[in-house]
Amino acid sequence: MTQGPLTTEAGAPVADNQNSETAGIGGPVLVQDQLLLEKLAHFNRERIPERVVHARGAGAYGTFTVTADVTPYTRAAFLAGPGEETEVFLRFSTVAGNLGSADAVRDPRGFALKFYTEEGNYDLVGNNTPVFFIRDAIKFPDFIHTQKRDPYTGSQEADSVWDFWGLSPESTHQVTWLFGDRGIPASYRHMDGFGSHTYQWNNAAGEVFWVKYHFKTDQGIKNLTAEEAGVLAGRDPDSHQRDLREAIERGEFPSWTVGVQIMPAADAATYRFNPFDLTKVWPHADYPVVEIGRLELNRNPGNVFAEVEQSVFSPAHFVPGIGPSPDKMLQGRLFAYGDAHRYRVGVNAGHLPVNRPHATEARTHSRDGLLYDGRHGAAKNYEPNSFGGPAQTGRALWQPYDGFAGGTGGHPTPPHAEDDDFVQAGDLYRLMTEPEKERLIANLAGSLAQVSRADIAERAVENFRSADADFGKRLDTAVAALRG
Ligand code: HEM
C-alpha cells in the first residue's frame, strides 16, 4: 500500500482511528461514525466458507518443465516437447481437519496443481496416494461425514470412521497405505504426488491412451512416526505450511520428477484390473512410469487469503489433448468442484488473479453476477454473433469413449479378472519389511482400540484378514491386547 493518510473504504481521510465518536464525553456512540461501522461490518465478513474437505493447506507457484517427447500420446500444447515451460500453482492440504487444524496428522495430503497453459488452465487435483477409499462418488458425502465431526459429540469418532471402513471393504487398500509409514509425511516437500485417477490423453491423430500421473519428490521421502507427529502437532500446528514457505524463502526450491504410466486404449477392456477403479494401482511391472518432466516450486504467494484460500481447482478443467476417464469417482468430481467454488468463492471465482488463465485469456459469454468487474466491456454476450466475437472451434478436447455396454442403471464398477477388494492391500502388506509391518499393525490397532463396539472393530479386522491371513491375525491380537 502507498504512503499517505489512512482512509475509509471510500477513500476519505481518517482523522482518528483510536477513538469512536460519542455524544459528549462518556456518552453513547454515534451512528454517524462511518469508520467504526465500516470496520466492524467488514470484519464480520472477513471469512468465506472453508473448503468442505481439504480446508487446511498451503500453496506456492512454480514451473513445470517438459523433459521428454510425449507428442505420440497427447496433443496438449504445454507438453509439446522437451524444454517447454509452464507456470503452475500447487496447493497442498490435509483432508479431514478444519482450517485451523494441525498439519502433522495421519491423513492423505492433497496435491492440487494448476498449469497455466496457453490453451487454458489445466487442473490436476490429486493426492499423495495413488488410490482412494471408495470407487463411486455417491459414497463420498457419507465417507467424509465419518471423517469429520460427529453430529452429537462434535469430534471425529473412531466408531464412525471404522464402521464406514469396515462396511466398505474397497477401502482396505487405501487404509493399509494410510496407516503405514507414509501416512504422516514429515512435510509437504518430502512426499510424492499422484493424479490418482486414470485420465485420457489423445494425440494429433486422435488416438487414445489412458494415463496415470506420478510426482516423485526429489527431496526424498520423509515421514513422521505417530509419536513424533503427536508432539509436533501440539508444538507447531503449522509445521508443514511453515516448512514450505521457509524453504522457498531460503531459495531451496522443492521439486518433483514427473512421470506417467501410459496404457494404450485397446488394453483397457482386458487388463487384469479395471483401469478405471480408483481403489487399484497399475503395477509398474505392467505399465512402467515414464519420466516426462520436472516440477519446481519457487515463489510464495504474497497474500494467503487471496491466493491460497480463494484458489480453486477443478478436475473438470481440461485442455485439448487431455480428458476424463469413465472412473465413477472422477465423473462425480467433474461436477462437485465447480459447484463448490460457486458457493465458496462465488460465481466469478475464475476471475481472481490466482484462478484466471495466465498464458491466455478466458473468452466466455458467461458473465455478470456477484462482484463482476466489467472486463468484457461492451462486447456482445452471445454466440454465434456477427460482431467478431469469439466462436466455437468444432474440436472436442478429448476423444469419445465407447467402452460400455447395456442400458442405464445403478451399475457397480465392473470387476476385471483379478479384481477384488483385497488383492492389492495384501500385495502392499507383503511388500513391507518386518519393522514396517510392526508399525502398521501398531498404528491400526491404536486407532481400532478406540472403537467402542466389538462388532465394528471385528468387521474392520476381517477386511485385513481377507487381504492377508498374517495381517489379520497379528492385527486381531494387537487390538485384543489394547482393548483388554
Ligand atoms: C467423488 C469424490 C470426491 C468429491 C465429491 C470431492 C469433492 C471435493 C470438494 C467439494 C472439495 C472442495 C473444493 C473447494 O471448495 O474448492 C474438494 C477438495 C479437494 N479434493 Fe476432493 N472430492 C472427491 C475425491 C477426491 C479425490 C479422489 C482426490 C484425490 C485424488 C481429491 C482431492 C482433492 C483435493 C487435493 C482438494 C483440495 C483442492 C484445493 O487445494 O483447493 N478429492 N474435494
Instruction: Please check whether residue 96 lies inside any domain of the structure.
Output: yes
Domain interval for residue 2: 1-46
**Statement to judge: residues 109 and 228 lie in one domain:** yes
Q: How far is the CA of 484 from the centre of ligand 1 (A)?
A: 39
* 105 in the same domain as 32: no
**Residues identified as active-site:** 54, 127
Looking at the fold, whether 68 and 19 belong to one and the same domain comes out as: no
> Which of residues 335, 351, 367 is at a domain's end?
351
Together in a domain, 122 and 188: yes
Task: Assess whether 248 and 345 both reside in one domain.
Answer: yes
Give domain status of residue 383, yes or no: no
For residues 37 and 76, state if they share a domain.
no
Q: Which of 125, 355, 413 to mutate to test the pocket of ligand 1 (most atoms within 8 A of CB)?
A: 125
Specify the number of domains making up the chain. 3
Ligand 1: residue whose CA is nearest its atom 34: 110
Nearest CA to ligand 1 atom 7: 336
361 found inside a domain: no
My answer on whether 270 and 218 are in the same domain is yes
Structure confidence by residue, pLDDT tens digits, 356-389: 999 999 999 998 999 999 999 999 999 999 999 9
pLDDT of residue 2: 79
Q: Are residues 5 and 141 in the same domain?
A: no
Cell of 245: 514457505
Domain containing residue 42: CATH number: 4.10.91.20
Residue 194 phi, psi (nearest 5): -140, 145
* Nine-digit cell string for 123: 487442473
Say whether both 37 and 102 belong to one domain.
no
Decide if 409 is inside a domain. Answer: no
In a domain, 41, yes or no: yes
Do 119 and 195 fall within a single domain?
A: yes
- Asked if residue 247 is part of any domain, the answer here is yes
Q: Which of 318, 335, 351 is the last residue of a domain?
A: 351
> Residue 297 belongs to a domain with what CATH number?
2.40.180.10
Residue 128 has what pLDDT? Answer: 98
- 3 state SS for the chain: CCCCCCECCCCCECCCCCCCCECCCCCCECCCCHHHHHHHHHHHCCCCCCCCCCCCEEEEEEEEEECCCCCCCCCCHHHCCCCCEEEEEEEEEECCCCCCCCCCCCCCEEEEEEEEEECEEEEEEEECCCCCCCCCHHHHHHHHHHHCCCCCCCCCCHHHHHHHHHHCHHHHHHHHHHCCHHHCECCCCCCCEECCCCEEEECCCCCEEEEEEEEEECCCCCECCHHHHHHHHHHCCCHHHHHHHHHHHCCCCCEEEEEEEEEEHHHCCCCCCCCCCCCCCCCCCCCCEEEEEEEEEEECCCCHHHHHHCCCCCCCCCCCCEECCCCHHHHHHHHHHHHHHHHHCCCCHHHCCCCCCCCCCCCCCCCCCCCCCCCCCCCCCCCCCCCCCCCCCCCCCCCCCCCCCCCCCCCCCCCCCCCCCCHHHHHHHHHCCHHHHHHHHHHHHHHHCCCCCHHHHHHHHHHHHHHCHHHHHHHHHHHHHHHC
Q: Is the CB of 463 under 6 A from ligand 1?
A: no
128 CB less than 6 Å from ligand 1? no
Q: Are residues 97 and 18 located together in one domain of the fold? A: no
Q: Looking at the domain assignment, is residue 70 inside a domain? A: yes
* Distance in Å, CA 460 to ligand 1 centroid: 25
What does the pLDDT look like over 260-269, one tens digit per residue?
A: 999 999 999 9
| Dist. CA 71–CA 283, nearest whole Å | 24
**Residue 294 phi, psi (nearest 5):** -135, 135
Write out the chain's pLDDT in tens, 484 residues. 779 999 999 999 999 999 999 999 999 999 999 999 999 999 999 999 999 999 999 999 999 999 999 999 999 999 999 999 999 999 999 999 999 999 999 999 999 999 999 999 999 999 999 999 999 999 999 999 999 999 999 999 999 999 999 999 999 999 999 999 999 999 999 999 999 999 999 999 999 999 999 999 999 999 999 999 999 999 999 999 999 999 999 999 999 999 999 999 999 999 999 999 999 999 999 999 999 999 999 999 999 999 999 999 999 999 999 999 999 999 999 999 999 999 999 999 999 999 999 999 999 999 899 999 999 999 999 999 999 999 999 999 999 999 999 999 999 999 999 999 999 999 999 999 999 999 999 999 999 999 999 999 999 999 999 999 999 999 999 999 998 7
209 and 262 Cβ atoms separated by less than 8 Å: yes
Q: What's the whole-model pTM score?
A: 0.97
Q: What's the distance, CA 456 to chain centroid?
A: 29
Instruction: Output the CA 374–ligand 1 centroid distance in Å.
Output: 30
**Ligand 1 close to Cβ of residue 56 (< 6 A):** no
Nearest residue by C-alpha to atom 29 in ligand 1: 126
Q: Are 96 and 51 in contact (CB under 8 A)?
A: no
193 and 261 in a single domain? The answer is yes
Answer yes or no: is 161 within a domain: no
Among residues 351, 385, 415, the one where a domain terminates is 351
Distance CA 309, CA 163 (A): 32
